[in-house]
Every structure is written in structure tokens, then in C-alpha cells.
Amino acid sequence: MNPSDTELLQWATQAAEAAGECLTFYYQKPLKVQEKQGINRRTSLVTNADFEAQEKVFEILKKKTPDFSFLSEESEPEIRNHPGRWILDPLDGTTNYVHGFPMFCVSIAAQWQEVLKVGVIHHPILKETYTAIRGQGTFLNGMKVSVSHTKTLNQSLLATGFHYDAPSDSKNFRQLAQNARGIRRTGSAALDLAYTARGIFDGFWERNLALWDIAAGCLMVEEANGLITDFHGHSFTENLKSLIACNKILHPYLLSHLQSS
């Protein structure tokens, strides 16, 4: 089975909206909250809503593409000998969700022969759905969007995510805070990338992100005429350890601040 990019986008959007309905149903209601095992357990949460939203996505996408592999935050990877793969986070911004802060989303990307083809980021509370097909641009609720045209850091609104106990992250934040107009920390990397593709944020940086956090959003930034690299200027790969997303004018300035960290 070799579905078209249009079909992949249609199915991903359907799945994201179904997951979004699930998240909206549970939003600001009592949740079953667990801390994940391992590092940063205090801030790495999972809820029953995460799992149910994931099942909504699986139900649709496994029916449409039964041979595809799946990489999802809340389950073990499903590896199959097939060129297609879905990469998803059923709830990006779980800590926000648990505390009733409405910055969270569903993120789904489709990959074919290791190339990102389609991305969907759905913000159910604001009813905003960002979509991208490789080579066809990025859209918000059907309207084409683009990265900003901001030319200088002192006119920029940036976004980031970091752990407060990471010295290099705190150092980067302090340095860029002295140069940018403002910095926001929303708690959802997928939304940060969608907002960068839309031109709300002029740039975004973060390290140690998982592929399910960034796959759809990175495609959107690139399709919105933006640039994705790591802190050393290397282009997007699945194994990026750090991420810069911004318009092409600002990239050298962000890179100069971050590449030595």
C-alpha cells in the first residue's frame, strides 16, 4: 500500500481531531495522573487521557494503514518491514493539561521511506489545526501561513523549553533574554513549532526533545519557509540532540548564541 500524501493528511487530521475530542472531554476534570519512571519524574506525567487519546489515534490510523509502523510517546515502538511510519504524541503538554493550562495539543506525522511527508498539530481548545504536506506549504485551518520576517533579535519574540536545573539551558535563556524582545516557555514543543511556522514566535530552541515532540512541527516550519537545525547548524535528522527553528534571517544570530553551549 502506497497512500498519497493527501490521503495521509486526511487520515492524520481525522485521528488528531478524534484525539482532541477525547482530550476536551477530560479537560479540567479529575484525572488519573502517574509520574513516569526515570529522569525528571516530577515533571514527566502521563494520564488516562493520554492513553485514551492515543487509542483514538491508533483506532483510525491502524485501520487505514495496517502495515505502517508506529512511534508514539505512550507505547512501545511498533517496528515493521514497511516504508511507512506514523510518529505521534497524543498529548503534548501533559503537565499543562493536568494543571488546566490550555497549552497542549495532538501531534501526528507521517513518514515514508524515512522522509517526513505529512504533519498535523491540533489544538483542541482553540480549535486550531495546523497541517503540512512536504512541498505544499503549511496551513492553519486551511489558510496558508509563513514564518515571520523579523530581522533582528531585539525585535523578536522567542520560545524555548528547558529544565531549570540544567546550567547550560539557564545560561542560554539569560543570554537570549538580554537580546530578544521577549521569551515564552509554553510547555509544548509541538505548539512552539506550530507558532513559529505561523510567525507568532520568531524562533524556538530546545535540547533533548523526542522525535514525537518535533516531527510534525519541524516539517511545518520548513514548509513555512523557515529553517531547522541543531545548535551546530546541522540540518534536521531523527537523532537531533538540540533544535533551532526560526526564519532564515534570524538563524545566524540564534546559532551564534547557542552553538557553544
pLDDT bucket at 261, cuts 50 / 70 / 90? low
The residues near 52 (Cβ < 8 Å, ≥ 6 apart) are: 22, 26
Alpha helices in the chain (DSSP H): 5-26, 48-64, 94-98, 167-177, 189-198, 211-223, 251-258
Burial label for 161, CB within 10 Å (0-12, 13-18, 19+), is buried
Q: For residues 15 and 7, give the distance between their C-alpha atoms in angstroms, rounded to a whole number.
A: 12
pLDDT of res. 47: 92
Which structural domains are found in the chain, ordered by start? Answer: 5-142 (3.30.540.10), 153-258 (3.40.190.80)
List pLDDT tens digits, range 112-139. 999 999 999 999 999 999 999 999 999 9
Pick from 179, 208, 198: which is nearest to 132 by CA?
Answer: 198
Strand partners, 108: 88, 120
The residues near 202 (Cβ < 8 Å, ≥ 6 apart) are: 147, 148, 150, 155, 156, 157, 158, 196, 246, 247, 250
pLDDT of res. 165: 55
List pLDDT tens digits, range 73-95. 888 887 788 999 999 999 999 99
The pLDDT mean for the chain works out to: 93
pLDDT of res. 41: 47
Q: Tell me the one-letter amino acid at 257.
A: H
Ramachandran region, residue 226 (left: φ > 0; alpha: ψ -120 to 50; beta: rest): beta
Strand partners, 45: 35
pLDDT of res. 43: 61
* Helix 167-177 with 251-258: angle, nearest 10 deg: 140
